[in-house]
Amino acid sequence: MKKTLLLTTILCAFGAQAEDEAKPFTMDGEFGLIVTTGNTETTSMKAKLSAHQELESWSNDFVAEGLYKKDEVVLETGEDDSQTTAQKYFLSGQANYKLENPDHRLFGFLSYEDDRFSSFEYQGTVAAGWSQKVWDTDTSKFEYSIGPGYSFAESLDGESINGAIVRGALDYQWKISETATFKQTLSTEVGSDNTKSKAETSVSAQLNGSLAMKFSVTLDHNTDVAEGLDNLDTQTAVTLVYTFF
C-alpha cells in the first residue's frame, strides 16, 4: 500500500502547473544492452528517461530509470543456473518555482526507489527548499538545491524506517566541444538513521542531431545496510541516448 501511494504521488504531484503556457520541452531516452554467451552467460540492461520542461513560472525535471542483470551462477550442487543478480527501478521529479529573479527558485522534490538487492524493500523521499541556477552560459551551467524533507523506507524484515532528512543536490554541465558534453550530478539525503547519496559522472559524444553515445559511472551509497551487504554500489555503463524533443 505504501509503495502504491508513493508511486502515485510522484506521477501526479507536478500536474498542478498545467495552467502555465508550456515553453520548450526536452526528453532523452537512454538504453544499453550487453548479452554474453559461451563460457560466460550474462544479460545486462539499463534504460532511462529524462525530461525537462520550462514553463513561465516553473522549471520541472523528471527521471525514470531501470537496471536489470542476469548471470549464470554455479549452485552448491555444482549445476549451472541463470539468476537475476540486479533489478532496480528509480523515479524522481523536481518542480522549481521561479521567484522575481528567475534564477532563484523554491523547489519540491519526490523520489521512489525499489532495489531488489539492497537492504530495503523501497526508499522514498519528499523534500522542499531553496534552488538556484548559479550560472548558465554557452559552455557551462551550474545549479544546486538544498532543503529539509522526510524519508520513507522499509527494511527487508518489514521494519519501517522513516524520519526527517536534509537533502542537497547539485548539477554541473560543461560543453567540452560542439559534440561532447561532461556532466556531474550529486545528491545526498542526510538522516539520523541513514544517509543516502548518489553521484553520476558522465561524458557524452554526439553521433548525429538526435543520437549520442554516453559513458557514465554511477555511485550509490547508504550508510546503514544489512550485514553482509556493501555500503557502496558502483555502476559503469556505455549507452546510447536519443533526444526525442
**6, pLDDT greater than 60:** no
Question: Residues 6-17: what's their mean pLDDT?
Answer: 51
How far apart, in whole angstroms, are the C-alpha atoms of residue 44 and residue 47?
10
190 CB-near residues (< 8 Å, 6+ apart): 165, 166, 167, 168
**36, pLDDT greater than 90:** no
Coil/strand/helix, residue 37: coil
In the block, cell 538504453 appears at: 31
Distances (CA, A) of 76 to 63, 70, 79, 86, 166: 40, 18, 7, 20, 45
What pLDDT is attached to residue 12? 53
Grid coordinates standing for 205? 559524444
Of the listed ranges 128-132, 159-163, 175-179, the least confidently predicted one is: 159-163
Residue 86's φ and ψ, nearest 5 degrees, are -155, 135
What pLDDT is attached to residue 132? 97
182 CB-near residues (< 8 Å, 6+ apart): 173, 174, 176, 202, 203
- With cut-offs at 50, 70 and 90, classify the pLDDT of residue 8: low
Of the listed ranges 12-26, 154-168, 229-243, the least confidently predicted one is: 12-26
What pLDDT is attached to residue 37? 73
Residues paired with 243 in a beta bridge: 28
More confident residue, 75 or 92: 92
What pLDDT is attached to residue 79? 73
77 CB-near residues (< 8 Å, 6+ apart): none
The amino acid present at 94, given as its one-letter code, is Q
- With cut-offs at 50, 70 and 90, classify the pLDDT of residue 19: very low
More confident residue, 140 or 229: 140
**CA geometry: angle 129, 133, 139, nearest 5 deg:** 155
What pLDDT is attached to residue 207? 95
How does DSSP classify residue 228? T
Grid coordinates standing for 46? 539499463
**223, pLDDT greater than 60:** yes
**13, pLDDT greater than 70:** no
The per-residue pLDDT of the chain, averaged, comes to: 88
- Largest separation between any pair of C-alpha atoms in the chain: 68
**238, pLDDT greater than 90:** yes
How far apart, in whole angstroms, are the C-alpha atoms of residue 180 and residue 213?
10
Question: Residues 176-203: what's their mean pLDDT?
Answer: 96
Question: Residues 212-217: what's their mean pLDDT?
Answer: 96
Q: Give 88's Cβ-side CA count (13 Å radius).
A: 21
Q: Find out whether 204 and 232 touch, Cβ atoms under 8 Å.
A: no
What pLDDT is attached to residue 3? 55
Residues paired with 9 in a beta bridge: none
